[in-house]
Amino acid sequence: MHFQYEASSPEERQSNPVRHAHFQRWFSTFASLAHSRLPLDPYLQSVTDTLKEVAGVASAVVEWIEGDQLVYRAVSGEAARHIGTRIALEGSLSGLCITRQQPLICRDASTDHRVDRAACEAVGAVSMVVAPVVYEGRSVAVLKLISRQVDQFKAADVSILDAFCACIAVTIAREEIAQENEKLLRANQSVAADLNVESSLRIEYEKKLADALRRRRTVLDNAHVAFVAIDEAGLIADWNEAAANLFGWRTHEAIGEELSALIVPERFRDAHRAGLTRYLATGEARFINKRVELPAMRRDGREFPAELTISEVWFESQRQFTCFIHDISDRRRATEADERLRLLINSVSDYAIFMLDQDGFVRSWNDGAREIHGYEADEIVGRHFTLFFSPDDVSKKKPEAELLRAASQGRVENEGWRLRKDGSAFWAHVILTALRDGDGQQQGFVKITRDMTARRRLEELEASSRRMNEFLALLGHELRNPLAPIRNAVSILKLKSTEDADVVRSRQIVDRQLAHLTKLVDDLLEAGRVSSGKIRLSSDTVNVADVIQLSVEASQPLFDERQQRLAVSGAEQPLFVKGDTTRLVQALNNLLNNASKFSPVGSKITLETGPHGNSVVVRVIDRGRGISPDALDSVFDLFVQEHPPGAHADEGGLGIGLTLVRAIAQLHGGHVEARSGGAGQGSTFSMWLPLVQAPTRAASVPPTPDRHANRPLDVLVVDDNKDSADSMTLLVEMLGHTARAAYDGPDALQSFGQRAPQVVLLDLSMPGMTGFDVIRRIREATSGDVIVAAMTGLGSDEDIARTRTAGFDAHLTKPVDLPELEGVLARAALRAAGD
């Protein structure tokens, strides 16, 4: 029984003699009961009366087993009016105690599934402890203590109940023997027979008493808690098997030894002895179940934390002290682990981690929750977690649905908008997990929330960028279609000889502006490829001098137009890089054009190249307008220009060229940088590329003169844009060939079937039947002698690879330049000559 009491005031100390008298009465009553010869029912009633009075509980009950029921045979206290009540064995704590033949404790009858709650409510049982009365190997009754307080009973109470149960078993034996003796007396009237029976009964009684004492010893020895009894000198008087297992000293080794010397580390022994002396001198010994924590030591010297519960008892007129000792290492570790976990959770600032009860009310709050949601712990603990949801979500019962799903599935993970204390919304990634105890009963929830607003905005930005790239590709394609007939018309005008100066000047204006517009469209498409990472490079060993020569040739017309002088130095030195000649020329050409554009008319621009460690550096230096320090870091960003449109007459373009230069340099394993002294100080752009070894030279073969390049050909032009088809047809005819036009796929196949041409210039994007459909039909109908060139506004590396796979012989990107067209026709002429 949980007889714990500790005086804290003089008044309570004055009441100790009364409590001590009660305790002495309990032991004297226990001794008298153990040796009494009361009949069984009065004896059982005396047992319940004694336990009820001494333990200070609401009721004490002896439940007797009759078949599959238990009968209240002896009752003391508030439940006395229920004597004779019957309850079913099944579904009750007493029934489970009988089945297992072991004591059980119910800490709270309202939540313990093992009890008969209706019966508990009837007798006012809030907490209970029950122990089986075992007689000849079978359970015959249950001894029960009932309290109206939660968690009244502890494990130490079980040993005392077991002692009473053993006495009850002895009384049962005596009762049965007495009944047998009475039968013998009735059957045999002789005095001799009576004496023999009495002698037999006494022997049997003593045997059963010895058995009961052995059972008591067995209970102590088999208990999981170390039990030690010491005298006033601190010497060990009793030592059970659990104590032997805990400390390593066998019973015969421990009896008679000082407890401190055996179980207390040496550095604490003096303090322990002084504490025991003070315990005896101050009268603390009169208080039952005093609990203390102390460092303990095993036989091998290993130390561990222990809890000692000490009580004063009297045995054969001598005062002794019973001690129950628990190894609390696991409890200490669990406490420390809980504290570490609490500190860890509280230190996490990127995640909101908090507990909810089963109804969704906040029960804990970490620092991360405060950072993300904005509430202090004292502001939010005890409030419902619907505070984090928008009014619309609350009206739709989303919080309740989240709890139900977590309870049924064990875990819920989702994302959505949540609210902070200040009303602002953030995008949250939420994990809600149901917490369950060892029996699977739900105890609440733990919720982990992370602010993912930045990631969501990045995803939205990426989606927006993707849509922009798709738009740029579509825009570039759509702009190429009207440019195609314009380029065809300009090519036609070039082929027309005229002496009219106005016509020539007008043609040149259209040609220059068309080239400029085509460059803008190409830049738009290149920007889309850069943003989406779709630029593809060939991997050749390239002489930097060749790149410089091609770039200078491409930029020379612009320099001539602006009367500028380009000085090249270092190009005579053979330096090689691994990469794509076309892309490198494109990058350097952009740097040269940029320098020309922002330099005064008639100025000098320098192009320098040379090795630098394991790299080759190509620098373009101008003395033009320069770049402000604030703009240096952003000049390579897409669509960025230093000044707003229209601020300077030379500020044309889309702000794409330098972005392409940086992307091309990085794809080659290099980088590009810009320097300037500021406005009016000119600029220097440097492109760094990794050097490689020079390739082995191969013998050059002079090209064979093309004797068939001007052979007349039959050409079929297919384009759903009538102007584009008609202008290309006219251009082909002016080049000396026969040409005809078709404006859709079926028309092209019909014309092809009537007379197979030698060349087909085929648009890809046509409604109904695309160019890919048409070439498939053409290849199925011919042996492959026909030259089929794709003529399209799609000009990426992926588009070129797709047309090659589809069986096209060439890929012409609109608007088609005259030299590209002449190259395809010359190829067809060579194939026709081979026939």
pLDDT of 127: 92
Q: Does the pLDDT value for residue 25 go beyond 70?
A: no
Residue 627 has pLDDT above 90, yes or no: no
Whether pLDDT at 217 is above 60: no
538 has pLDDT over 80: no
Query: Taking Cα atoms as reference points, which of 667, 671, 701 lies closest to residue 685?
Result: 671
Determine which of 6-10, 33-37, 480-484, 608-612 has the lowest per-residue pLDDT on average: 6-10
Looking at residue 36, its pLDDT comes to 63
Residue 180: per-residue pLDDT: 72
For domain 540-692, the CATH superfamily is: Histidine kinase-like ATPase, C-terminal domain (3.30.565.10)
Band of pLDDT at residue 471, cut at 50, 70 and 90: low
Helices (H) and strands (E) counted in the chain, each on its own, are 26, 27
pLDDT at 14 over 50: no
Q: Does 27 have pLDDT greater than 80?
A: no
Residues 158-186: pLDDT tens digits?
777 787 888 787 777 777 777 776 776 66
List, for residues 752-769, the tens digit of each pLDDT value.
888 889 899 999 888 889
* pLDDT tier at 679, thresholds 50, 70, 90: confident
Name the residue with higher pLDDT: 835 or 99. Answer: 99
Residue spans of alpha helices (H) in 533-609: 544-561, 581-597
**Reported confidence tier of residue 645, pLDDT bands at 50, 70, 90:** very low
Question: Residue 45: its pLDDT value, please?
Answer: 86
User: Would you state the pLDDT for residue 674?
Assistant: 86
Classify 332-451 by CATH class: alpha beta
Residue 93 one-letter amino acid? L
Q: What is the pLDDT of residue 371?
A: 87
Strands of the sheet with 318-327, listed across from one edge: 236-239, 226-231, 318-327, 303-315, 290-297
**In this predicted model, which residue has the larger pLDDT, 773 or 32?**
773
Does residue 245 have a pLDDT over 80? yes
Residue in the block written with tokens 């200040």: 422
pLDDT of the residue at 742: 92
Q: What is the pLDDT of residue 472?
A: 63
Encode pLDDT of 403-443 as tens digits.
999 888 988 888 888 888 888 888 989 999 888 877 888 88
**What is the distance between the alpha carbons of residues 62 and 64, in angstroms, rounded to a whole number?**
6
The pLDDT, as a whole number, for residue 773 is 92
Residue 388 has pLDDT above 80, yes or no: yes
The pLDDT assigned to 761 comes to 92
* Average pLDDT of span 781-792: 82
Return the SS3 of 774. Answer: helix
Given a cut of 60, is residue 328 above it in pLDDT? yes
Q: What is the CATH T-level fold of the domain 10-218, as seen in this structure?
A: Beta-Lactamase (3.30.450)
List, for residues 686-728, the tens digit of each pLDDT value. 999 999 887 765 444 444 445 445 678 999 999 888 888 888 8
> Quick check: 484 and 517 in contact, CB under 8 A?
no
Fold of 223-327: Beta-Lactamase (3.30.450)
At residue 648, the pLDDT reads 46
pLDDT for res 142: 92
Cα(333)–Cα(305) distance, integer angstroms: 10
List helix spans (H) across 108-155: 117-123
Judge whether residue 200 has pLDDT over 80.
no
Print burial letters for 687-708: b (CB count within 10 Å at least 16), e (below 16). Answer: bbbebeeeeeeeeeeeeeeeee
pLDDT at 819: 85
> What is the domain partition of the chain in residue ranges?
10-218, 223-327, 332-451, 540-692, 714-834
The H or E element that residue 811 is part of is: strand 810-813
User: What would the mean pLDDT of 65-77 be, rounded to a whole number?
Assistant: 89
70 pLDDT higher than 70: yes
Predicted local distance difference test score (pLDDT) of residue 701:
43
Nearest of 513, 684, 515 to residue 594 by alpha carbon: 684
Q: Lowest-pLDDT range, 536-540, 542-546, 804-808? A: 536-540
**CA 431, CA 368: separation in Å to the nearest integer?**
15
Q: For residue 269, with 0-12 CB atoms within 10 Å meaning exposed, 13-18 middle and 19 or more buried, which class applies?
A: middle
- The dihedrals phi and psi of 568, each to the nearest 5 degrees, come to -110, 130
Q: Is the pLDDT of residue 16 over 60?
A: no
- Going by C-beta distance under 8 Å and a sequence separation of 6 or more, which residues neighbour residue 332? 305
Within this chain, domains 223-327 and 332-451 share the same CATH topology: yes
Q: How far apart (Å, rounded) are the C-alpha atoms in residues 352 and 372?
A: 7
pLDDT of residue 361 exceeding 90: yes
Amino acid at 235: L
Q: Could you please report the per-residue DSSP string of 59-90?
A: EEEEEEEETTEEEEEEEEEGGGGGTT-EEEST
Of 190-204, 540-554, 596-610, least confident by mean pLDDT is: 190-204
d(CA 448, CA 373): 12
**pLDDT per residue as tens digits for the range 482-500:** 776 777 777 777 777 676 7
pLDDT bin (cut points 50, 70, 90) of residue 11 is very low
The amino acid that residue 679 corresponds to is A
pLDDT of residue 57: 87
Q: Which carries the bigger pLDDT value, residue 379 or residue 322? A: 379
Q: Quote the pLDDT of residue 254.
A: 87
pLDDT of 344: 62
| CATH H-level, domain 714-834: superfamily | Response regulator (3.40.50.2300)
Residue 336 in tokens: 């420390």
> How much is the pLDDT for 7?
38
How far apart CA 85 and CA 78 sit, in angstroms, is 14
Which two tokens mark 800?
Answer: 């070129």
* 100-154 tens-digit pLDDT: 888 999 999 888 888 988 888 888 899 999 999 888 778 889 999 999 999 888 8
- Percentage of the chain beyond pLDDT 70 is 75
